[in-house]
Structure 1
Amino acid sequence: MTKQITNFIKKHQIIGAIALASFFCFNNSKAQVVSNFENLTLATDTFWDGSDLSGGFASGDAFLKNNYNTSWFSWDGFAYSNKKDSITAGYGNQYAAFAGSGYNGNGNYAVAYCAPNSILKLTGNSTGSVLSGFYLTNNTYAGISMRDGDAFSKKFGGASGDDPDWFKLKIENYHLGVIVDSINVYLADYQFSDNSLDYIIKDWTWVDLTSLGASDSLSFSLSSSDNGMFGMNTPAYFCLDNFSTNFGTGISTIVENEIKVYPNPVSDIIHVDLSKFAGEKIKLSIHDIIGKQLFISELLDENEFILDMNSYENGVYFINIESKKVNLHQKFVKQ
């Protein structure tokens, strides 16, 4: 059974979800592309580790990079697998998902070994789009290592169960070569005062990426509370499936200036006239110049919206209003 993990995601900036498709029109319909890796051919109970030196693999609008070392016959970045062994401990089971299969019982899924990071690049129409999210679970090798301990890694929680251990995935979003935002997801968390709440993720679990804004690529890295003289002791693996992107497929015919915003430019308090939405439920959001959402609110039958802009930096912003009928947006300047 899948679980939403909103409570386990710690954002570095304010929660947001949607990027602007352009600065003069707004996309009012979206297409979703899902990378489920079923396009990749594998024999039953096998894996691909990059030994063909192809440098990675593609599914949907995602390219997952792989680095293969011919001297050591080792790899890092991403591999893919259909192995179903969720009970065998040790490095020999590094290609298996702790969930026992791909998402929803499917065959193939991606395996990440972060040494130090794993890179996913967007391709096709999804390049520069807003991401939807993906499903993740622990790798069997890492999951059992945390649950039971082994020769290199401690048992999470320790003998008493009270040790505040954790295993964390950091996802950094790049757009136009710059880190735009990041989120943290705990693959295991034993930091609760109530030990019954401690967990190691085993089921496929949804990770929402909409807050990251427009994206060209993602960097995945892992950290742990269990470290030694040579670095992290916890095996640096996780598994990924059904990576989903959104991109616009239609342009609204309603253009800029359809929303009355005043004063514009604004220095402190901005007013938005909502009289044309009388009796309607709307979603109002504010985005910066690169499309990252900074504010969002749902409103019902309001005539006016007022927002204090004193905490916002000087620059160009956009107000977007979404109802059942239309998507409208308006540019304004804070100075």
Structure 2
Amino acid sequence: MKKLLLALAVCLCGAVSAENVVLDLSNPGEPIEYDENDVWTRAYDNDATVYAQEFLFTHTANVEYHSYNGFVASKTTLITESAGMDDQFGCMAKGGVAGEGTPYLVAYWDSYADSNLDEKSCKVYTSSPYYAVGCYVCSSPYVYYTIQKGNAYARKFEQGDWFKLVAHGLNGQDKETGTVEYYLADYRSANADEWTLNDSWQWFDLSSLGQVASIYFTMESSDTGEWGMNTPSYFCLDKLTVSTEPASVDKTLTAAVRAYYDRTSGVVRVESASPVEAAVYSLNGTVVLKQLVDGSAALDLRACPSGVYVVRCGGYSVKVVK
């Protein structure tokens, strides 16, 4: 199996040199075909799963009822602002972390399935145990505009309301290693100026989960009724990252340095909050490219032959496959 290790750099305490595995939906393990709306053609196929790099994402569907739960690949940029199902495959960022129109995952968490079936509806397996690092998450437009406006099933959020994503780690024996939370909406403050409603990709630190064989996601909301949560249980995910070594992420420095291979343009894009030297090396140690990055830069690999390269930014290094 060909392993593509994109450089999604986060600042690790102690500058641990580790091999990261990063989700890259532009290079899936199995082909992902999109329809005229830029949504995975197998969204309602019960025999389909999303597989990329070392990750396998759960997906179940019912063709008769045109329904699904779990993960669906999408790259749609359409947002209708309807607070309805026509926005269920969208993302507030209008694309993945790599930019507008690039692929990402939309997840629908089914609380009923989680309560009544053995399998978790939103679960990702790794090919072998890895240490959790993190992922990027973003709001679904369906959720965003429901929270902002309300609809027939859920009320508009007011002071005191909140909506969060919970990640659960499982080890090789299927025992929980811990949980970590991210608030996609937080209106708990008495000061409305401090309310937050996610509309862009934000880093979700999963490092406290430790070594995991799988991760599953659940959701919670302050808008809950007799039949459970009223807020639509959707979220978007990209660049899930695991590592061969333990990672301790300093939240104040998370994503201060970020790099990824833009396959469409043939460049390594580097973003840094402070000046850093970024260099690309061949496997024999030869410097292929070197550039000072202050803000953002693109290291052009188009003239380089296909193969494995090492990208180093400051004290961090990771492999990419061209």
Trace 1:227-246 onto structure 2 (pairs within 5 A): 227-246=224-243
Distance (whole Å) between structure 2 residues aligned to residue 50 and residue 84 of structure 1: 17
TM-aligned CA deviation for residue 150 of structure 1: 1.2
Question: Which of 201, 204, 229 in structure 2 is aligned with 1:204?
Answer: 201
TM-aligned CA deviation for residue 50 of structure 1: 3.4
CA contact (8 A) 1:35 1:60 kept: yes
Provide, for residues 250-287 of structure 1, a one-character-per-residue CA deviation record: whole Å limited to 9, x for no partner. Answer: xxxxxxxxxxxxxxxxxxxxxxxxxxxxxxxxxxxxxx
CA contact (8 A) 2:80 2:86 kept: no
Runs of 4+ in 1 over 4 A off after TM superposition: none
CA contact (8 A) 2:79 2:92 kept: yes
TM-aligned CA deviation for residue 44 of structure 1: 5.7
1:174 equivalenced with 2:170 (yes/no): yes
1:37 equivalenced with 2:29 (yes/no): no
SS at match of 1:110: strand
TM norm structure 1: 0.61
Distance (whole Å) between structure 2 residues aligned to residue 231 and residue 55 of structure 1: 28
Residue in structure 1 matched with residue 185 of structure 2 by the alignment: 188
Equivalent position amino acid for 1:42 in 2: Y
Give the count of matched residue pairs. Answer: 217
1:213 equivalenced with 2:217 (yes/no): no
Provide, for residues 211-262 of structure 1, a one-character-per-residue CA deviation record: whole Å limited to 9, x for no partner. Answer: 11001001101111112222211000000011111125xxxxxxxxxxxxxx
Provide, for residues 19-44 of structure 1, a one-character-per-residue CA deviation record: whole Å limited to 9, x for no partner. Answer: xxxxxxxxx74211111211233256
Equivalent position amino acid for 1:219 in 2: Y
Question: Which of 76, 85, 93 in structure 2 is aligned with 1:91?
Answer: 85
Gaps of 5+ in 1: 1-15, 19-27, 158-162, 249-323, 325-335
1:222 equivalenced with 2:219 (yes/no): yes
CA contact (8 A) 1:174 1:218 kept: yes
CA contact (8 A) 2:45 2:62 kept: no
Distance (whole Å) between structure 2 residues aligned to residue 45 and residue 246 of structure 1: 34
Question: Which of 87, 107, 113 in structure 1 is aligned with 2:108?
Answer: 113
TM-aligned CA deviation for residue 136 of structure 1: 0.4
Distance (whole Å) between structure 1 residues aligned to residue 211 and residue 48 of structure 2: 25
1:58 equivalenced with 2:51 (yes/no): yes
Q: Percent identity, please.
A: 28
SS at match of 1:30: coil
Residue in structure 2 matched with residue 155 of structure 1 by the alignment: 156
CA contact (8 A) 1:44 1:82 kept: no
Equivalent position amino acid for 2:185 in 1: A
Distance (whole Å) between structure 2 residues aligned to residue 31 and residue 65 of structure 1: 25
Equivalent position amino acid for 2:37 in 1: D
- The Cα RMSD (Å) is 2.1
Residue in structure 1 matched with residue 38 of structure 2 by the alignment: 46
1:140 equivalenced with 2:134 (yes/no): no
Equivalent position amino acid for 2:178 in 1: D
SS at match of 1:142: helix
| Structure 1 residues 245 and 44, CA gap change in structure 2 (3 angstroms) | farther
CA contact (8 A) 1:97 1:138 kept: yes
Distance (whole Å) between structure 1 residues aligned to residue 154 and residue 24 of structure 2: 31
